[in-house]
């Protein structure tokens, strides 16, 4: 006697296992009809690392974008995106598969060598609403503006030295109505200036800033600009010598979207 569960009941059962990856992997092998729902949870959060989990191995595993589970991914984390060895065309194809992405985190974006992000990463997915960038250079502001629906922005370990050239303000910018996290142990003045130049202004409801004492004026400018929308303000202000040991807090700057995923 065959017994089939109604799909909505099956979905409910699988949803209960959303934070148990091992069980989900086992469920994924039960039957073809179980695959879409389990994949939805298994691939909700995906992370790439240059050494352990390179992007290239994903491309090899899922060569056909139409069969790729990337469209289940809502949160994507990439460490050291510069080391992508695939051609720009391949990466562009690959990025196009993540069309339901909500949160994007790029870590170690190569500020030490002033490397720019590969072009296909710009506008990675138009649905991205939350962006977190760590260890990055000032190329980042053009990158930020390539996400039209962006609401939450977190920048940590921003390196100001790369911004020696005079840059024009980007032609357009996202609305930025969510949260801003800014932690720059080397100073936030230049970063603040670039943010204040955004043509569509800043409308953050939540601001979290870790800065040096001499940069408090810059934090003040950010607060003044967002004062009509501001609901939550968190300012950490350090003496130069004290900052280094405590500013690790800033490395955990998370956006509300990220916390809701956790």
Partner 1 sequence: MPRASFPDLSKASKLKDLMFLCGGTNINWITAALRTVGSKHLQHITIRLHTATLRGTTEEMDHREWQDLDRLLVQFWTSHSIRPRLVHSPNSVGRNVRDRAPSFLPELTRRGLVDMVEHSPPLSLRLRRGWLFSLCMGPLFKLHLFV
Among 7, 30, 249, 260, binds partner 1 (CB under 8 A): 249
Are the C-beta atoms of residues 196 and 221 closer than 8 Å to each other? yes
Question: In the bound complex, what is the minimum distance in angstroms from residue 205's beta carbon to partner 1?
Answer: 8
Between 107 and 139, CB nearer to partner 1 = 107
CB of 188 to partner 1, least distance (A): 13
Nearer of residues 35 and 223 to partner 1, judged by Cβ: 223
Instruction: Return d(Cα 92, Cα 122) in angstroms, integer.
Output: 10
Cα–Cα distance, 100 to 93 (Å, whole number): 15
Residue 115 contacts partner 1 per CB under 8 A: no
Select from 26, 126, 213, 260 the one that contacts partner 1 (CB under 8 A): 213
CB 17 within 8 Å of CB 23? yes
Q: Does 229 bind partner 1 (CB under 8 A)?
A: yes
Does 119 contact partner 1 by CB under 8 A?
A: no
**Judged by CB under 8 A, does residue 83 bind partner 1?**
no
Please state the closest distance from residue 246 (CB atom) to partner 1, in A: 6
| Number of residues lying near partner 1 (CB under 8 A) | 31
Q: What whole-number distance in Å separates Cα of residue 217 and Cα of residue 221?
A: 6
| Residue indicated by tokens 């994507």 | 76
Partners of residue 103 on adjacent β-strands: 75, 130
| Residue with token string 């609305």 | 175
Min. distance of Cβ 229 from partner 1 in angstroms?
A: 7
Residue from 18, 175, 186, 251 touching partner 1 (CB under 8 A): that is 251
Answer for the pair 150, 174: CB distance below 8 angstroms, yes or no.
yes
With a CB cutoff of 8 Å and minimum separation 6, the contacts of 146 are: 122, 123, 124
Q: Which CB, 38 or 210, lies closer to partner 1?
A: 210
What 14-20 contacts at long range (C-beta under 8 Å, 24+ apart), as own/partner pairs, is 14/38, 14/41, 15/41, 17/41, 18/44
Is 217 a binding residue for partner 1 by CB under 8 A? The answer is: yes
260 binds partner 1 (CB under 8 A): no
The DSSP secondary-structure symbol of 54 reads -
Pick the closer one to partner 1 by CB: 107 or 163.
107
Contact 129, 103 (CB under 8 A): yes
Q: Which is nearer to partner 1, 40 or 206 (CB)?
A: 206
Q: Which of residues 170-209 bind partner 1 (CB under 8 A)?
A: 205
- Applying CB under 8 A, the residues found at the interface with partner 1 are 205, 210, 213, 216-217, 219-221, 223-224, 227-239, 242-243, 245-246, 248-249, 251-252
């Amino acid at each position: 006697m065959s017994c089939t569960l109604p799909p909505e009941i099956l979905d409910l059962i699988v949803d209960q296992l959303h934070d148990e990856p091992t069980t989900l992997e086992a469920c994924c092998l039960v039957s073809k009809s179980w695959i879409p729902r389990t994949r939805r949870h298994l691939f909700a959060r995906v992370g790439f690392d240059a050494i352990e989990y390179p992007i290239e191995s994903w491309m090899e595993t899922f060569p056909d974008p139409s069969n790729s589970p990337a469209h289940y991914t809502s949160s994507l984390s990439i460490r050291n995106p510069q080391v992508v060895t695939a051609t720009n065309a391949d990466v562009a194809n690959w990025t196009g598969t993540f069309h339901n992405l909500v949160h994007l985190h790029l870590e170690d974006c190569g500020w030490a060598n002033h490397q720019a992000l590969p072009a296909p990463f710009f506008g990675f997915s138009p649905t991205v609403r939350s962006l977190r960038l760590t260890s990055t250079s000032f190329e980042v502001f053009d990158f930020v503006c390539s996400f039209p629906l962006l609401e939450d922005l977190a920048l940590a370990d921003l390196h100001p030295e790369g911004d020696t050239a005079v840059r024009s303000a980007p032609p357009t910018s996202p609305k930025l109505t969510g949260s801003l996290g800014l932690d720059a142990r080397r100073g936030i003045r230049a970063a603040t200036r670039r943010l204040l130049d955004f043509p569509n202004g800043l409308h953050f409801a939540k601001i979290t800033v870790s800065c040096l004492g001499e940069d408090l004026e810059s934090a003040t400018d950010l607060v003044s600009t967002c004062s009509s929308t501001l609901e939550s303000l968190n300012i950490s202000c350090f003496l130069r010598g004290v900052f280094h040991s405590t500013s690790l807090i800033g490395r955990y700057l998370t956006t509300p979207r990220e916390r809701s995923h956790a």
